Amino acid sequence: MSNALITRRQHENLEFFEVTECGKKMDASVLSWLVIWALNNGKNLKYQIAGGWNRIGTKEFMEARL
């Protein structure tokens, strides 16, 4: 089980995928796969680890107030 909910979101003109932990910590292999997928496909990713939020993606996405 991944212990994660993945939601496709839109903020103004930025599309991103938001990954929220569900009940338990997300498995490290799931997070690793998501990060590699996002980087290889040029996708913006916002993900939750231990209650804190992190992001990877374009400059515009990193600077956006989400």
Across all residues in the chain, what is the average pLDDT? Answer: 92
The strand pair at 14-21 and 4-11 is best described as: antiparallel
Helix (H) or strand (E) holding 9: strand 4-11
Task: Compare 49 and 1 and report the one with higher pLDDT.
Answer: 49
* pLDDT tier at 18, thresholds 50, 70, 90: very high
Query: Residue 22 in contact with residue 29, Cβ under 8 Å?
Result: no
The predicted structure's pLDDT at residue 66? 82
